């Protein structure tokens, strides 16, 4: 997509961290912004920015794993701004750490539900709309550097993010010949609210169930030097044939 002015972006996990950064960039490009998140306090805080800057935006409280609510949220966004042109599938959580055999079924299900089904829901609900309105569009999903390099102790997170890369590569191929594109975004480590928000989202979606703490380094985001150290170590281990 070349001309973003006046078009509409639907950004999940848009009330914090990377998603909020993307939402702000979209607004700076003159787009209408739909900030989608399941933490109302974060939405309220994020909306202050757009109001202060007089930029067209709405906040929608949505858990991306809830398909019926997702369909309604899209209708709400369309009623406000018309067609949606950019979908940013960014909502995600840090998952239970440790080796997979120590992760509970509930923790594994939650990770897949948020980090994978949430992305699928966005594609299945919004791509048909994009193809139908014919004005062009793009879907980008936030995966992770952890999708490309195996970081020890974060197998559950890695596998969900690797799957996101696979989905987006296939989607990009399936969309060839249309005016809709698709891509995956694989950031390294950034100080965001991922540790805090993952705890809140996990508590909300798993009720009273206790989840293992996020993997070391993810509690306060994943500092670049932390993940680079692991990534470098993994790469060297692979080169040695380990
Ligand atoms: N921070 C990093 O170092 C890093 C690195 C690589 C990838 N990522 C990915 O980037 C994305 C954004 O994370 P962030 O680091 O900006 O964290 P963040 O906590 O600042 O933002 C994530 C937002 O997603 C929302 N969210 C989570 N589950 C949701 C759900 N089911 N429905 C709706 N909203 C939901 C949270 O409420 C939160 O506001 C995630 O997918 C994360 O896995 C982060």
In this predicted structure, the answer to whether residue 224 has a pLDDT above a threshold of 60 is no
Asked whether 18 lines ligand 1 (CB < 6 A), one says yes
In this predicted structure, the answer to whether residue 223 has a pLDDT above a threshold of 70 is no
- What average pLDDT score do residues 44-59 get? 98
pTM above 0.85, yes or no: yes
Whole-number pLDDT of residue 39: 98
Whole-number pLDDT of residue 150: 76
Query: Half-sphere exposure of 188 toward its Cβ, with a 13 Å CA cutoff?
Result: 10
Smallest CA separation from ligand 1 atom 3, residue = 189
Asked whether residue 3 is domain-assigned, the answer is no
In this predicted structure, the answer to whether residue 114 has a pLDDT above a threshold of 70 is yes
Q: What's the whole-number average pLDDT of the chain?
A: 89
In this predicted structure, the answer to whether residue 184 has a pLDDT above a threshold of 50 is yes
Burial of 130 by CB count in 10 Å (0-12 exposed, 13-18 middle, 19+ buried)?
buried
Q: How many domains does the chain have?
A: 1
In this predicted structure, the answer to whether residue 16 has a pLDDT above a threshold of 80 is yes
Listed as own residue / partner, the contacts of 39-48 with beta carbons closer than 8 Å and 24 or more positions apart are 39/15, 39/197, 39/200, 39/201, 42/15, 42/16, 42/193, 42/197, 43/15, 45/15, 46/14, 46/15, 46/16, 46/20
54 pLDDT tier (thresholds 50, 70, 90): very high
208 pLDDT tier (thresholds 50, 70, 90): low
Domain membership of residue 216 as a residue range: 8-239
Asked whether residue 2 is domain-assigned, the answer is no
151 pLDDT tier (thresholds 50, 70, 90): confident
User: Of 208 and 185, which is predicted with more confidence?
Assistant: 185
Asked whether residue 31 is domain-assigned, the answer is yes
Asked whether residue 200 is domain-assigned, the answer is yes
In this predicted structure, the answer to whether residue 165 has a pLDDT above a threshold of 70 is yes
Smallest CA separation from ligand 1 atom 41, residue = 92
Q: In what order do the strands lie in the sheet with 8-12?
A: 57-61, 32-37, 8-12, 86-89, 137-142, 180-185
- What average pLDDT score do residues 18-25 get? 98
Smallest CA separation from ligand 1 atom 38, residue = 13
2 pLDDT tier (thresholds 50, 70, 90): confident
> Domain of 160: which CATH number?
3.40.50.720
Asked whether residue 99 is domain-assigned, the answer is yes
Which ligand 1 atom minimizes the distance to the CA of 65? 31
Asked whether 222 lines ligand 1 (CB < 6 A), one says yes
Q: Which of 150-154, 163-167, 184-188 has the lowest mean pLDDT?
A: 150-154
Portion of the chain with pLDDT greater than 90, in percent: 81
Asked whether residue 173 is domain-assigned, the answer is yes
Asked whether residue 215 is domain-assigned, the answer is yes
Whole-number pLDDT of residue 212: 45
> What's the 116 CA to ligand 1 centre distance in angstroms?
13
């Amino acid at each position: 997509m070349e001309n973003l002015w006046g078009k509409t972006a639907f950004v999940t996990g848009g009330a914090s961290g990377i998603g909020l950064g993307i939402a702000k960039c979209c607004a700076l490009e003159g787009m209408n912004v739909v900030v989608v998140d399941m933490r109302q306090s974060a939405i309220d805080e994020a909306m202050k920015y757009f109001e202060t800057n007089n930029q067209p935006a709405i906040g929608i409280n949505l858990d991306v794993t809830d398909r019926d609510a997702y369909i309604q949220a899209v209708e709400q966004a369309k009623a406000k701004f018309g067609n949606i042109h950019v979908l940013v599938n960014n909502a995600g959580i840090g998952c239970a750490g440790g080796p997979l055999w120590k992760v509970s079924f509930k923790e594994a299900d939650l990770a897949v539900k948020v980090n994978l089904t949430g992305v699928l829901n966005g594609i299945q609900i919004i791509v048909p709309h994009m193809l139908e309105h014919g004005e062009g569009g793009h879907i980008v999903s936030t995966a992770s550097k952890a999708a490309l390099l195996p970081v020890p102790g974060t197998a559950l997170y890695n596998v969900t993010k690797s799957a996101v890369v696979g989905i987006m590569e296939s989607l990009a191929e399936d969309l060839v010949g249309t005016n809709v594109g698709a891509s995956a975004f694989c950031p390294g480590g950034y100080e965001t609210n991922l540790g805090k928000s993952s705890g809140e989202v996990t508590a909300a979606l798993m009720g009273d169930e206790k989840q293992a703490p996020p993997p070391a380094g993810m509690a306060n985001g994943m500092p670049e030097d932390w993940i680079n150290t692991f990534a470098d170590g993994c790469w060297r281990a692979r080169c040695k044939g380990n």
